[in-house]
Chain A
């Protein structure tokens, strides 16, 4: 019974976690999702602390609480709190945007923390009871937990498109109730202290389950008010747009990759970088929003003339340099204004690469042009075609700072090299982005282009780069041939009232003429940077610049990240000493959440130390460190692969699903096989694990690049196969530790707490490690964690069986 409960609760709680992430991504921004769910997961750890406190009050609690009756009660409580917390949360007006401004939002946030912690608490209670009660079967408990979680990672996939987020959460919460009505007579001597559930109690459980299911069914079928539909924050783009008259959503498609709302409105007008010289009316458009934000615009091209507006946009400066292009490649990541540009150029062949299947489908059908639904880097790795123009369109997030944690490979130096390698000998690369002040993105992209040209051994790389801007956007143009004659570009800029920022031979008199800043900041900074590269002092430039503008690599692919921690004070002052403006930054949020998590972790770990009176019963430091290290190591490994595989699959959700499923399944098998390993085997397991992790650090990259060139099926297959060995090995230390390093149920519960705390802290800190130091460092951290575990497992202070 308890193993079945462990399996189902693990399945349900992971599905709940995945779905809650979706809910918060739609209703709020990812910042809040990160905040709330990270803290809620402490519910697992809190269960272990709770059992430690019980241990001070009751004897044989593990036998009593792990019997059928109490376990069923915990399952029911899990289901009720999971559904209840979601329904309540869906109604309280917690809004990330107002968090720093309205004191009542703190109360809502604390309520969210508490409510969401409850279901994870009850799930954690059953799992830690299983470890406490049947330590000799720790491997099987581990397998049940991991296998259940693996199933939970996949289950939302088929249900989400049909049920939506709210109903999927409710269904996931109901799953563990399956076993409650049934009672298997137990002959287990361990439960000698407890009797089988009486017929009356069994009936009560069955009725309770039926009641919960019926009530839930009633809730979700009611038309108004109680329907668990997730609505975006009123401050999200979609919500604000829907307030326009005659604006309506005509289609909503939801899945694990996002919720896509297609909106018709007579007020859709998207034309970033449009010249003030354009006098006409824009073509009709409609828009698709992803999770209430990140719009993609579709232009209704009725007449040839409709494309003409594109010729008045800033990115068209690049098209103008290639008269009569034959082949154009468009890599779209939001926006949509690149397509009319490409069509206005008159090119015979236009290929669009779009990662999101829904948008790829719409673009293909609407424009009747070839659309490749693939990760752009994989497309480039698999293609040997050459293009006259490659145009990258990406406008970033609507909330400044929200992109800081977003991993993306469109703008790394390696990506620049790929683009350049796929251009014809007269080819042009165009990148269109929002203009930032202080200059940040423009500097980074210029540097990325320069370093890529240099690595490909272009002479005088700066002669191949041009940058233009208007008042809110800029366009970077990179040419295979050096820019010798800039007349065309200068005329275009002058005629359209755009400003040059950088062209070979540019002078101060040529800049800041039409879109006037107090000073030509972008020109100054890029000129300084160009000089720094010429003199070989570019590192010093990046070091002294107030923001992090160094070009991104595939190891550190965070194009939206500009914060420098050692300049935080200056940044705070510059934004008017406004705390809330800092709160928009994803990195600041990570830091705040980490501090919150640290306080909670210390609290949960210290309680047993202070409540347990007898010294020999207190958990010792070696035990604590071992299980902290094992928990951290597991999470570091998991997050490393999730981040690494985003490179292959291009989508964090796909990566998460593949990695989670793979690691959980194979580590579950590892846990199962741990039953065959004796006490002396733990050391060798840890040594082997550390060796494998170091090998991954040194050797995974070439394998990943090779996988990128293969077909999708092979990508999925090989990516999964690569997980087998490390996952199998990481599945061993925890159950082995439970079996051989501990001899008291309370200690096992405490180990569960330590493991849970480490998992949460690690998942938060990994985000910062990736941004600051690079993704490969995460696997080194995993190796270091298991080294600590190895050292702790050798100490004699941990009780031996």
Chain B
């Protein structure tokens, strides 16, 4: 009997192992993700349940290079090659939360990158349109998002500066690439009352997020301060005690 079981074992187990995705969402990654959400995101004040759920569900490790897998859930951004980075988990969560999504929004993301941010947005909003100008990144992200079952995300290879006029207007626009001015065409594709969010600063140092809100033809730009970037003046320290309770 044992002799029969052995070849049976070899014939079934081994091919299964060979064919298995090397990056399955194993308990190890699930645990790391849970810890990431608790310690890096919830504890820093992100409380939107939809966002927290999205961060808990989307397997971030699928979006990082294999050689950095061990750091996929670490509390910092990661280089993903070709001069690109995947943002720190907290920044992704914060940016998503600040858009105040209720689930029926149409969102445009400029700069698909790894595709991680688009995946998070897809869990929270109704439709996600994402544009990536670099073809290699676009193809990789599109393939990955499709393989992960994100059918709500429409991807495009193109120049995000001009937005996605055919699908406009949008409730929200998220720019993930660094820029020195907000593209006028994007502001035109924002609905009245719509929000545009973008991070400013060096990805490996400090960043501050800016939220642009459109009212008729007037715009306000609100700086959102995060853990990484709270002003150091005594005045600000008094007003932001969470700075001194930073998470290790």
Binary contact track A558-585/B, C-beta < 8 Å → 1, others 0 = 0000000001001101111110110010
Tell me if A269 and B222 are in contact (CB < 8 A).
no
User: Contacts of A576 on B, CB cut-off 8 Å?
Assistant: 75, 227-228, 246-247
Tell me if A573 and B236 are in contact (CB < 8 A).
no
By beta carbon, the residue of chain A nearest B134 is A243
Tell me if B184 and A581 are in contact (CB < 8 A).
no
Tell me if A521 and B231 are in contact (CB < 8 A).
yes
User: Contacts of A513 on B, CB cut-off 8 Å?
Assistant: 220
Other-chain contact of B230, A100, A279, A472, A574 (Cβ < 8 Å): A574
User: Known: A243-B82, A516-B221. Contact between A524 and B183, CB under 8 A?
Assistant: no
By beta carbon, the residue of chain A nearest B162 is A281
Binary contact track B166-198/A, C-beta < 8 Å → 1, others 0 = 000000000000011111110110000000000
Other-chain contact of B184, A280, A438, A472 (Cβ < 8 Å): A280
Binary contact track B45-71/A, C-beta < 8 Å → 1, others 0 = 000000000000000000000011001
Smallest beta-carbon distance B177→chain A, Å: 9
User: Known: A471-B200, A573-B244. Contact between A516 and B220, CB under 8 A?
Assistant: yes
User: Which stretch of B100-108, B148-156, B206-214 is in the interface?
Assistant: B206-214
CA distance A517 to B182 in the complex (A): 18
Other-chain contact of A234, B78, B83, B222, B234 (Cβ < 8 Å): B83
CA distance A234 to B137 in the complex (A): 14
Residues B93-134 near A (CB distance < 8 A): 133-134
Residues A698-731 near B (CB distance < 8 A): none
A214 at the interface (CB under 8 A from B): no
| Chain B: interface residue total (CB-CB under 8 A) | 59
CA distance A280 to B183 in the complex (A): 10
User: Contacts of B185 on A, CB cut-off 8 Å?
Assistant: 281
Smallest beta-carbon distance B159→chain A, Å: 6
User: Which stretch of A39-47, A189-197, A270-278 is in the interface?
Assistant: A270-278
Smallest beta-carbon distance B169→chain A, Å: 15
By beta carbon, the residue of chain B nearest A434 is B180
User: Known: A101-B71, A577-B246. Contact between A244 and B76, CB under 8 A?
Assistant: no
User: Contacts of A437 on B, CB cut-off 8 Å?
Assistant: 206, 208, 223, 225, 229, 231
By beta carbon, the residue of chain A nearest B77 is A101
Tell me if B79 and A470 are in contact (CB < 8 A).
no
User: Known: A472-B180, A580-B76, A581-B204. Contact between A519 and B236, CB under 8 A?
Assistant: yes
A97 at the interface (CB under 8 A from B): yes
Tell me if B205 and A581 are in contact (CB < 8 A).
yes
Tell me if B206 and A575 are in contact (CB < 8 A).
yes
Tell me if B83 and A240 are in contact (CB < 8 A).
yes
User: Contacts of B229 on A, CB cut-off 8 Å?
Assistant: 437
User: Contacts of A279 on B, CB cut-off 8 Å?
Assistant: 184, 187-188
Smallest beta-carbon distance A746→chain B, Å: 48
Tell me if B219 and A514 are in contact (CB < 8 A).
yes
User: Contacts of A271 on B, CB cut-off 8 Å?
Assistant: 180-181
User: Contacts of B71 on A, CB cut-off 8 Å?
Assistant: 101
User: Contacts of B246 on A, CB cut-off 8 Å?
Assistant: 573-574, 576-577
CA distance A546 to B235 in the complex (A): 11
CA distance A437 to B187 in the complex (A): 25
| Chain A: interface residue total (CB-CB under 8 A) | 64
Smallest beta-carbon distance A434→chain B, Å: 9
Tell me if A281 and B184 are in contact (CB < 8 A).
yes
Smallest beta-carbon distance A312→chain B, Å: 10
A537 at the interface (CB under 8 A from B): no
User: Contacts of B223 on A, CB cut-off 8 Å?
Assistant: 437, 471, 515-518
Tell me if A276 and B228 are in contact (CB < 8 A).
no
Tell me if A276 and B182 are in contact (CB < 8 A).
yes
CA distance A259 to B228 in the complex (A): 35
Tell me if B220 and A243 are in contact (CB < 8 A).
no
By beta carbon, the residue of chain B nearest A576 is B228
Smallest beta-carbon distance A398→chain B, Å: 8
CA distance A270 to B206 in the complex (A): 22
B21 at the interface (CB under 8 A from A): no
Other-chain contact of B222, A516, A519, A580, A581 (Cβ < 8 Å): A516
CA distance A730 to B7 in the complex (A): 84
A220 at the interface (CB under 8 A from B): no
A239 at the interface (CB under 8 A from B): yes
CA distance A516 to B244 in the complex (A): 23
B29 at the interface (CB under 8 A from A): no
Tell me if B81 and A234 are in contact (CB < 8 A).
yes
CA distance A151 to B81 in the complex (A): 41
User: Contacts of A574 on B, CB cut-off 8 Å?
Assistant: 230, 232, 243, 246
A98 at the interface (CB under 8 A from B): yes
Tell me if A400 and B232 are in contact (CB < 8 A).
no
Tell me if B233 and A575 are in contact (CB < 8 A).
no
Smallest beta-carbon distance A495→chain B, Å: 11
By beta carbon, the residue of chain A nearest B68 is A102
User: Known: A279-B184, A519-B239, A546-B232. Contact between A269 and B206, CB under 8 A?
Assistant: no
A399 at the interface (CB under 8 A from B): yes
A525 at the interface (CB under 8 A from B): yes
User: Known: A400-B206, A574-B230, A580-B204. Contact between A269 and B81, CB under 8 A?
Assistant: no
By beta carbon, the residue of chain A nearest B227 is A576
Tell me if A245 and B232 are in contact (CB < 8 A).
no
Smallest beta-carbon distance A361→chain B, Å: 25
A157 at the interface (CB under 8 A from B): no
Tell me if A584 and B205 are in contact (CB < 8 A).
yes
12 additional contacts (CB under 8 A) given A101-B78, A101-B204, A546-B234: A102-B79, A234-B81, A240-B82, A276-B219, A437-B231, A439-B231, A570-B232, A574-B230, A575-B205, A576-B227, A576-B246, A576-B247
Provide 27 A-B residue pairs closer than 8 Å at the C-beta atoms, listed in order of the A residue. A101-B76, A101-B204, A102-B67, A240-B83, A244-B134, A245-B135, A269-B161, A273-B181, A276-B182, A276-B221, A278-B184, A399-B202, A400-B205, A401-B205, A471-B223, A497-B218, A497-B221, A516-B223, A518-B223, A518-B236, A519-B235, A521-B231, A521-B233, A546-B233, A571-B232, A576-B247, A584-B204
